[in-house]
Amino acid sequence: MKNKILSTVALAALFAASASFAADKPADKPDDKAESGKGWTRAHYFTPEEKITEGSVVTNHQQVNYKAVTGTLVVHAKGWEDTPVKAQGGDDKTEDKASAEASMFYVAYFKKDARAENRPVTFIYNGGPGSASLWLHMGAFGPRRIVTNTDQHMAAAPYKVAPNDESLLDASDLVFIDAPGAGFSRIAGPDKEKAFWGIDADGHAFAEFITEFLNKYGRWQSPKFLFGESYGTTRSAVLVNMLEQRAIDVNGVMLLSQILAFDLSPDTPYFNPGVDQAYETSLPTYAATAWYHKKLPDQPKDLKSFLDEVEKFALGDYALALNKGADLPEAERNAVAEKLHKYTGLPVDYIKKADLRISGGEFTKTLQDDKDTTTGRIDTRFSGPNLDSLSKEADYDPFISAIGAAYIAGFNDYARKDLKWGDERRFQLFAPVGKYWSFQHVPPGADQAPWQSPNVMVDLATAMKTNPKLKVQLNVGYFDLATPFFEGVYEMKHLPIPARLQANIDYKFYESGHMVYAAEPSLKQLHDNAAEFIKNASTPAP
């Protein structure tokens, strides 16, 4: 059956490295024939498990001997403790929350012979929402890494899985977590998905998991960090505030490819007329992409100085022109169209026909249309043949097609052979959240979800004000059109925090895409930046 990206407008903004694998058919329940046929019962999923293996990796010129703990922890849905368990023969409705459980899968790497109070622990997850964490696990920070091409489609199996010279184990213990329903995580059903699939429900599940983990492994005195990618940054903003409300101070939050305010998504801004910021914050990524593919009429030599110029135009003359709407004079309209042509390489007539407003999908379909070629979305350095030469927008992502199979094969092989986990269980790359996911979010200080697109900037701001020692690192790639780099900067600059707390935010930029670690030079930079951040935020202030 043909795979597809879920069509919900808000979801489209979030699908990072796993969206294109979301299946038409909902995933089977944990007791489906493929697994229950092995004699497995509910207890196989909803009793905590763990398996221990050992290994070693050389990273940052240091040999780290580690213990790998692969297992599951069981968490309950929010509100379960206030709901009585159904008595036998009682009303079915009374059991909804009480029986809503998730078995959350994780792989934890602990440095041998390290004291908890001297050893940071970093909780790591991808986005989606609903993605497994194999991307960051096998692409960025785990002890083994999938080796992929720079900007070309991978050849089919076998794929290269190599020791990861840039594993973050030199700086921190690592805990890779699969969201409920993804990877080897499971949700107790039937029909309990809605108890875990939503902005607030998901944040609660991860807060429960981290609390359980700190208890199980005695890590309350360890410096604590969160690392989320894509929707994982949305989760991090919600999660860090939830942890702070539990009196669990977090040392630092690392955000990769950020989206906190969904109105800034470049995917379908034309469904949100009157809100033009998405066009403005996407423009620097359009410019970087056109520069990479040499589609600019006057090709600059230096990317950074070029992007500085584009950013000033985006928030200056371009924003002013869009704000005028129908009152924009024709001469000014023509001047802005010419400038957009200079910065994007798109034809002036096309820009004017689009009313100066070009979505991400329109850009990736049009930039290389003269070659019947579609530009990538997750990483715009990648390209592939058009599926439909007459389509308005790109109808697939060449980046996902290029590297996805390598990650799936590599992780399945590593988990089953090296971590000794999985048996004949199915690995679910992406939980089918589209039918259930709730984007309703109640921000701190509100009684109910506001009538607006999801925005978790208040959550991060509240955590930073509640814990003014909290450090935040923003990591963004110039060639990311899923969550454009300038969008992340814009969000950070507009956090409702005192000006002095802006000093707690660290900005890092990479000549790569959404998964910045897909480019080896950027992988090293990401490691070094994260390691330095962890070191600085773990050291008590004098």
Return the ∠ at Cα 422 (arms to 421 and 423), rounded to 5°. 105
- Over residues 190-226, the pLDDT tens digits come to 678 889 999 999 999 999 999 999 999 999 999 999 9
* Residue 378: CB atoms within 10 Å: 30
pLDDT at position 22: 30
Is 202 in contact with 234 (CB distance < 8 Å)?
Answer: no
Long-range contacts of 27-31 (CB under 8 A, 24+ apart): 27/181, 27/428, 27/431, 27/432, 28/426, 29/189, 29/190, 30/186, 30/187, 30/188, 30/189
CA pair distance 274, 298, nearest whole angstrom:
32
pLDDT at position 1: 30
Q: What are residue 57's DSSP bridge partners?
A: 64
pLDDT at position 284: 98
- Over residues 506-530, the pLDDT tens digits come to 999 999 999 999 999 999 999 999 9
pLDDT at 42 over 70: no
- Mean pLDDT value of segment 82-102: 50
Residue 397 has φ and ψ, to the nearest 5°, of -115, 110
pLDDT at position 448: 79
- Over residues 320-374, the pLDDT tens digits come to 999 999 999 999 999 999 999 999 999 999 999 999 999 999 999 999 999 999 9
Average pLDDT, rounded, for the chain = 88
- Over residues 458-511, the pLDDT tens digits come to 999 999 999 999 999 999 999 999 999 999 999 999 999 999 999 999 999 999
pLDDT at 91 over 50: no
pLDDT at 95 over 60: no
Q: Where are the domains of the chain?
A: 9-263+403-538, 270-399
- Mean pLDDT value of segment 303-313: 98
pLDDT at position 542: 54
CA pair distance 458, 20, nearest whole angstrom:
30
Q: Which fold has domain 9-263+403-538?
A: Rossmann fold (3.40.50)
Is 178 in contact with 105 (CB distance < 8 Å)?
Answer: yes
pLDDT at 9 over 90: no
Q: Half-sphere exposure of 127 toward its Cβ, with a 13 Å CA cutoff?
A: 32
Residue 104 has φ and ψ, to the nearest 5°, of -95, 125
CA pair distance 387, 375, nearest whole angstrom:
12
pLDDT at position 285: 98
- Over residues 422-461, the pLDDT tens digits come to 877 899 999 999 888 999 898 898 877 777 889 999 999 9
* Residue 308: CB atoms within 10 Å: 12
Q: Which is higher by pLDDT, 280 or 61?
A: 280
> At 430, which amino acid appears?
F
Residues in the chain: 542
pLDDT at position 425: 85
